[in-house]
Structure 1
Amino acid sequence: MPLYFNENNAVKIYGLAYACMSIAGIFAILLGKLVDKFNWITTLTLTTLIYAFAMLGRIITHEYLAVLIAFIAGLVASTGVLSLKNWMAYSTQSTLTNRLVLYRSLIFHSTNLFSMVFVLALAYIITDKRHLYWSLLVLSAVIVFFAWLFFLKIRNHYHIDKHDNKKLSKITFNPIIVLFCLNMIFSGCYSGLIKPYLILLFIKKGFSDEYSIFINLLIVFSQVIFTTIVIKKLNFFSKSPIKLLIILETSLLLSYLFIYFEYLEISIYVLLFIFILRTFLLSTSTCTEEIIHMQYISKQQFAAVFGLLLTLFLIGDSFGAFISSLVFDHNYLNIFLISAVFVFLNLCTYIFLSFAIKKHHQI
């Protein structure tokens, strides 16, 4: 999508559409009630169909239509995510929840890797890139449509008693939950700043579309490897998760500052190493955060708190994407400096969280 919009001289519109999609996710905490009312398989089936049409609408680069379609996509995507989380919470043994979360992440990165290989192969074969990116956007919508057919077929296998549906409970705030909330906002901010423009950053560096896709392919491949390692070493990463998060966030802060000050002079090999290192830091911290959430959010409040955390993350994500849409065309390197600021704020929340956890154990 960023490459398609870049070819159509609509990078700013892409940034606004991405931000608007995240803004729609702000309603996640309210959408959770919709999932509870109609059950997860019904909402998942409906939102997948709507999302397929919303993805097809990504070929539209008109400013207002692109933003409207992105908003609809954000609403249905958030509802779909909450539907899957609802299913995991009520259909999975608690002892398997952490590992299932990691396996889901591994599947996501693996399929993303396959897609990148497919796109890269076509980019080398086909010379008309604008036609290629348009076709791939349509193809992605078709794939989601087939997913809808699959859910439509299996939905009759799930007989959910409406009386067993659990409603979102009221959230009891404590220092740990408040710090989780701040953490998700800051994490969303630096995610929205860089993630939408990752491929374009390499194009700005002077590389071709194909080479930029290949670099992104290596980064995605590293995500698969790192997620696999985390799954195999789950006990190691869960021994002292908060200390690990502080180390990871400090490393991420230093890497962003290094990129900002040295980007123009960095060789492609050093740059690739730093971005792969960044991938390791983000992948590991995400898994570690989820482990901490499982430990310190009560089962009775999990659905409600997760809906709130998802909402806050997407608020930060949309804010970060909005900032980068304004900054990218003027001086794209500023997104690394701004990201470093949000990483520093997030690091502060981890430090305060470590004290809150110690106090929690003393009570």
Structure 2
Amino acid sequence: MIKDNFFGSPNISRYTLFTLLFQMGMAISLAAMPIYFKNENAVSAYGVAYSVMAITGAFSFVYGLFVDRIGFSKALLFGVMLYGVALCMRVFTNPIIAVITAIMAGLGASVAILANRSWVLQISQTSNANTTQLTAMRSMLGNISILLGTALVSLAAYLFESIYFYLLILAGLLVFGSNYFAFQNYKIIKLEKTNKSSLQRENIFKSEKINFTIILFMFANMLSGVYTGLFKPYLILMFVDYGVSEHKSIFIYLLTTLVSILSGFYLLKYHHFMKNVPFSGFFIAMISLAFVFFAMFVGLRYNLGIWFLFFLVLSRSVFLSLSSSFEQVLEYELFNKATLAMALGLTQTSFLAGDALGSLVTSLWIDPKNIHDYAKICSYCSILVLFHMIILFILKKYKKI
């Protein structure tokens, strides 16, 4: 099964190896950078750089236009090169250099991620693989990379002192290494390019508008960002405040990533059935997710025990992974293929805006200090999940699917 799904064709093999290297570089850098800056007494520079990178990434809708204009294969090369340089430059903690690096990283990563999703569509159009299978594969590769990258940083920090400088360089080198597979893909696409006139391409591009479908997906992704920002950054702290030790809380967080991988594996195994029911799969996963958040509210409110909470947190990862995968399949099916990256850029911008809003609400308004505060967060998340589901239900009625 692994060989058939991850290495079923030369194009899929290139995608698999590219994604593993790129995402591992990203994961290693994200884990090593804050500790490196802290050790260099540059925490403030790190905070500013993180904010600047987030703001730069919020302009994804502009980068989507760029990806559509020049083609995903060229855009991928540009984004990966820029991001690789930025990761290597993170060893410099000077505030000005840190800000410049953050702008480069935000731009490069956003362009590369949008181009990566366009690559998924190209694979589905040139092979027997469907978007449900490829979306599940993409999700699994991302989670595996995060797990391996985070584990590598933890192991290296345990075995060696002052290793973070070299980990940041390694992260950049892994991203540069992924460019080999992106370049191979670019050469093949250039050879196989169909002979369409520039006028036809321009007319296709100009014909796209920000239609009702895109607007609904933008609202849905914003809501998804809000309940992600409300809960995810405080998952470890919730267990710590519940009385679990710090290292066990971090281990639980890693388990949620592992569960997400297993969820992707399940979707990958049954993709032939799931590809025909993306709306049904999405609604079932979202109803389950809303119920899990409500159960977490009850469990925290009435102190039903750590094992009850542990089970629900893992269940949250399952249904969140499945609902996200099904929603991405719907985006591939319903967006105009000629301007896919622009539409994905708009939804990505909406998610990032919601994520920032959710984290601000949690940190500035709720300011969780005990389990009752986390119960309040879970109740809000449950309501937001239901609104997210309603928006996609409106889309289903609008498209008469």
Q: TM-score range by the shorter chain?
A: 0.7 to 0.9
For residues 114-157 of structure 1, the C-alpha deviation after alignment (integer angstroms, 9 at most, x for no partner) is 2344344445545x5xx355553443233223334554576545
For 2:396, which of 354, 357, 361 is the aligned residue? 357
Query: Which residue of 1 is the match for residue 7 of structure 2?
Result: none
Question: Contact 1:23–1:318 (CA<8 Å) still a contact in 2?
Answer: no
Q: Work out the CA distance in 2 between the residues paired with 1:207 and 1:12.
A: 29
Query: Which residue of 1 is the match for residue 135 of structure 2?
Result: 101
Query: Which residue of 1 is the match for residue 34 of structure 2?
Result: 5
Indicate yes or no: 2:175 matched with 1:144: yes
SS, match of residue 171 in structure 1: coil
204-213 or 18-27, which moves further after superposition? 204-213
Provide the alpha-carbon RMSD of the alignment.
Answer: 3.9
Indicate yes or no: 2:190 matched with 1:159: yes
Calculate the TM-score normalised by the size of structure 2.
Answer: 0.72
AA in 2 matched with 1:296: L
Give the Å deviation of 1:47: 1.9
Q: Work out the CA distance in 2 between the residues paired with 1:269 and 1:13.
A: 39
Change (3 A) 1:319 1:352: closer
Q: Work out the CA distance in 2 between the residues paired with 1:266 and 1:14.
A: 39
Q: Work out the CA distance in 2 between the residues paired with 1:178 and 1:32.
A: 16
242-251 or 159-168, which moves further after superposition? 159-168
For 2:87, which of 37, 55, 80 is the aligned residue? 55
Question: Contact 2:292–2:312 (CA<8 Å) still a contact in 1?
Answer: yes
Change (3 A) 1:114 1:2: closer
Identity %: 28
Q: Work out the CA distance in 1 between the residues paired with 2:143 and 2:227.
A: 20
Query: Which residue of 1 is the match for residue 144 of structure 2?
Result: 110
Indicate yes or no: 2:216 matched with 1:179: yes
Within a 5 Å distance, the mapping from 1:204-353 to structure 2 comes to: 210-238=247-275, 240-259=277-296, 262-263=299-300, 265=303, 267-300=305-338, 302-324=340-362, 326=364, 331=369, 334=373, 337-338=376-377, 340-341=379-380, 343-353=382-392
Give the Å deviation of 1:183: 0.5
Question: Contact 1:120–1:210 (CA<8 Å) still a contact in 2?
Answer: no
204-213 or 280-289, which moves further after superposition? 204-213
Give the Å deviation of 1:11: 8.2
Q: Work out the CA distance in 2 between the residues paired with 1:134 and 1:328.
A: 36
Query: Which residue of 2 is the match for residue 36 of structure 1?
Result: 68
Question: Contact 1:171–1:305 (CA<8 Å) still a contact in 2?
Answer: no
Question: Contact 2:31–2:153 (CA<8 Å) still a contact in 1?
Answer: no
296-305 or 79-88, which moves further after superposition? 296-305
Give the Å deviation of 1:39: 3.3
Within a 5 Å distance, the mapping from 1:65-104 to structure 2 comes to: 69-90=101-122, 92-93=124-125, 96-98=129-131, 99-104=133-138
Change (3 A) 1:10 1:260: farther
Change (3 A) 1:276 1:16: farther
Calculate the TM-score normalised by the size of structure 1.
Answer: 0.78
Question: Contact 1:50–1:76 (CA<8 Å) still a contact in 2?
Answer: yes
Q: Work out the CA distance in 1 between the residues paired with 2:122 and 2:170.
A: 33
Question: Contact 2:31–2:150 (CA<8 Å) still a contact in 1?
Answer: no
Change (3 A) 1:143 1:321: farther
Give the Å deviation of 1:359: 5.2
Change (3 A) 1:182 1:200: same
Question: Contact 1:88–1:97 (CA<8 Å) still a contact in 2?
Answer: no
For residues 263-283 of structure 1, the C-alpha deviation after alignment (integer angstroms, 9 at most, x for no partner) is 595655433322211110111
Indicate yes or no: 2:228 matched with 1:191: yes
Change (3 A) 1:226 1:326: same
Give the Å deviation of 1:109: 1.9
Give the aligned length: 358
Question: Contact 1:45–1:148 (CA<8 Å) still a contact in 2?
Answer: yes
SS, match of residue 64 in structure 2: helix
AA in 2 matched with 1:229: Y
Question: Contact 1:252–1:281 (CA<8 Å) still a contact in 2?
Answer: yes
Change (3 A) 1:337 1:211: same
For residues 232-279 of structure 1, the C-alpha deviation after alignment (integer angstroms, 9 at most, x for no partner) is 222444555444434433433343345456559565543332221111
Q: Work out the CA distance in 1 between the residues paired with 2:370 and 2:115.
A: 37
Give the Å deviation of 1:112: 2.4
For residues 308-331 of structure 1, the C-alpha deviation after alignment (integer angstroms, 9 at most, x for no partner) is 222222222233344455468764
Q: Work out the CA distance in 2 between the residues paired with 1:86 and 1:92.
A: 10
Give the Å deviation of 1:181: 1.8
Extract unaligned runs of 5+ from structure 2: 1-29
Q: Work out the CA distance in 2 between the residues paired with 1:155 and 1:296.
A: 26
For 1:26, which of 58, 75, 79 is the aligned residue? 58
Give the Å deviation of 1:15: 6.8
SS, match of residue 58 in structure 2: helix
Question: Contact 2:65–2:342 (CA<8 Å) still a contact in 1?
Answer: no
Extract unaligned runs of 5+ from structure 1: none
Change (3 A) 1:288 1:156: closer
